[in-house]
């Protein structure tokens, strides 16, 4: 085993450990709340001393940012995949809405952080997190604008329509329960149906019917 192999194995082990810490922290954050969770408590769950914990992650705040980045990266990855599909803005947004709810449903603890700690994590301190979020928002606005330009959507202000959509989606974190009777899939499709009918130009539909 040469030197570079050793380094790579060490890096892998470190990355794995880091991921374990992130998951443990996410659990604690969602059970006790972000503010009530101490670095000591996180260290205890993963059987590390606090100083050993800090060789993997910088601080409790950094853990929160890493967790949030993973969620937003997943959302953005989906959005870029959808962007490359040769479908209409309506279909792009439909798919994005369904997958947004799916991502939230699969990362409930990290998603909750977004509601409860975003005010602590300022854009100036964590430019990468906010840049990812802005790219996601920008794609949504772009598709709404494309639909508006094509006469498919009837919206006065693309920003307002984008905020309405994202706000309703992010609020799902607040009431969704993985133990409940509603699946993320059924929520996603119902949201997509309501939100896209809400954006759609009625005139356009009439024109299509007349044509």
Contacts of 42 (CB under 8 A, 6+ apart): 21, 24, 25, 28, 53, 60, 63
Q: Which of residues 182-201 bind a copy of itself (CB under 8 A)?
A: 182, 186-187, 190-191, 194-200
* Distance of alpha carbon 119 from the chain centroid: 16
CA distances from 184 to 59, 104, 187, 197 (A): 32, 8, 5, 20
Among 3, 167, 178, 211, binds a copy of itself (CB under 8 A): 167
119 binds a copy of itself (CB under 8 A): yes
Q: Assess contact for 101 and 187: CB atoms under 8 A.
A: yes
According to DSSP, the residues that pair with 153 across neighbouring strands are 200
Q: Which is nearer to a copy of itself, 34 or 56 (CB)?
A: 34
Q: Which of residues 9-48 bind a copy of itself (CB under 8 A)?
A: 33, 35
What minimum distance in Å lies between the beta carbon of 187 and a copy of itself? Answer: 6
81 binds a copy of itself (CB under 8 A): no
Residues of this chain that interact with a copy of itself (CB under 8 A) are 33, 35, 112, 115-116, 119-120, 155-157, 160-161, 163-172, 174-175, 182, 186-187, 190-191, 194-200, 202, 205
């Amino acid at each position: 085993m040469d030197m570079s192999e050793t380094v790579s194995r060490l890096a892998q082990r470190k990355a794995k450990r880091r991921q374990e810490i992130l998951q443990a922290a996410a659990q604690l954050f969602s059970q006790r709340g972000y503010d009530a969770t101490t670095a000591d408590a996180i260290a205890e769950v993963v059987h590390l001393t606090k100083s050993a914990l800090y060789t993997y992650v910088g601080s409790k705040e950094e853990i929160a940012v890493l967790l949030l980045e993973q969620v937003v990266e997943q959302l953005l990855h989906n959005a870029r995949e959808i962007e490359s599909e040769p479908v209409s803005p309506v279909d792009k947004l439909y798919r994005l809405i369904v997958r947004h709810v799916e991502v939230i449903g699969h990362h409930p603890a990290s998603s909750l952080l977004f509601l409860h700690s975003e005010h602590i994590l300022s854009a100036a301190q964590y430019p990468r997190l906010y840049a990812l979020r802005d790219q996601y928002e920008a794609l949504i606005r772009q598709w709404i604008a494309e639909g508006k330009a094509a006469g498919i959507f009837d919206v006065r202000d693309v920003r307002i329509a984008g905020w309405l959509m994202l706000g309703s989606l992010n609020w799902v974190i607040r009431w969704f329960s993985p133990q409940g009777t509603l699946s993320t899939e059924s929520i996603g499709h119902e949201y997509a149906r309501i939100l896209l009918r809400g954006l759609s130009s009625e005139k356009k539909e009439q024109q299509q019917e007349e044509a």
